[in-house]
Amino acid sequence: MKTIGFIGAGHIGSQLARLAVSRGHNVVISNSRGPETLSPLVAELGPSAHAATPAEAAKAGDIVVVSIPLKNYRGVPVAPLAGKIVIDTENYYPQRDGRIPELDNESTTTSELLQAHLPTSKVVKAFNHITAEALTRDGQPSGSKNRRAVVIAGNDPTAKTTVSHLIDEFGYDTVDAGPLKEGWRIQRDTPGYGPRRTAEQLRGDLASAKRYRDQATATAARE
Ligand SMILES: NC(=O)c1ccc[n+]([C@@H]2O[C@H](COP(=O)([O-])OP(=O)(O)OC[C@H]3O[C@@H](n4cnc5c(N)ncnc54)[C@H](OP(=O)(O)O)[C@@H]3O)[C@@H](O)[C@H]2O)c1
């Protein structure tokens, strides 16, 4: 049994907290507006859930999930996450997050931004391509035929193994896309982003993914 901290308890954070509690873990959840605003979710989750500030959730978690709009990633507390495994669910939506030049020019990726902000944490990208409602709907026991899979990426192999075990507990196979810099292969508008896919299908999706600049070239060539 672990304590999983949550920075962000919206659509995705609350669903992952539900999965964590249902698998016997403790959760400490936080948001931007304050712990008192999370009372209904804590009441729903039961005695293994507590609400806290982001810094407290970061400190409490053996593993900490960051599930906030990307535009706010610089607000994630650094010191209490030192050395910890941090699961990053974030995606880049310019209409929500504003323009981030280093993502627009594809010189980095979303989870590399969080990793740079949290230099000693072990950031693992996960759960960025599955919708919130699917998280509690599509999980199946290990070994199930056509089990749905989730992509991970990260620079620390041991952290990825730990996160893979958690993902398995939550009901999903894992496909390792490689280091964080390969995370673009499962970013918005890539083939694996959104649909229900098995591990084998996702491996094909990752292999056929195109950079935004190449998608634009392909579109221009067709027009
Ligand atoms: N929705 C999906 O199906 C889905 C699927 C995969 C990945 N994602 C990605 O996962 C991330 C979260 O998405 P979501 O749909 O769960 O968003 P959401 O429903 O808008 O929830 C965002 C959560 O982040 C909190 N938050 C915002 N800024 C914060 C800060 N500085 N410190 C602490 N908490 C903060 C919000 O708290 P307040 O409400 O108090 O402001 C809220 O609890 C996004 O990057 C999104 O692109 C979403």
Main-chain phi, psi angles of 138, to 5 degrees: -95, -5
Residues of the chain with pLDDT under 70: 218, 221-223
- Ligand 1: centre distance to CA 107 (Å): 24
Transcribe the chain into DSSP letters. --EEEEE--SHHHHHHHHHHHHTT-EEEEE-SS-GGGGHHHHHHH-TTEEE--HHHHHHH-SEEEE-S-GGGGGGS-SGGGTT-EEEE-----HHHH---HHHHTTSS-HHHHHHHHSTTSEEEE-SSSS-HHHHTTS---TT-TT-BEEEEEES-HHHHHHHHHHHHHHT-EEEE--SGGGGGGGSTTSTTSSS--BHHHHHHHHHH---HHHHHHHHHHH-
What digits encode the pLDDT tens for the residues 188-216? 999 999 999 999 999 999 999 999 999 87
Per-residue model confidence (pLDDT) at position 217: 73
Mutate to test the pocket of ligand 1, among 18, 32, 118 (most ligand atoms within 8 A of CB): 32
Nearest atom in ligand 1 to 70's CA? 45
- Residue ID of nearest Cα to ligand 1 atom 30: 32
- Ligand 1: centre distance to CA 68 (Å): 3
- Ligand 1: centre distance to CA 9 (Å): 7
- The CB of 72 under 6 Å from ligand 1? The reply is yes
Per-residue model confidence (pLDDT) at position 223: 62
CA 127 to chain centre: 4
- The CB of 69 under 6 Å from ligand 1? The reply is yes
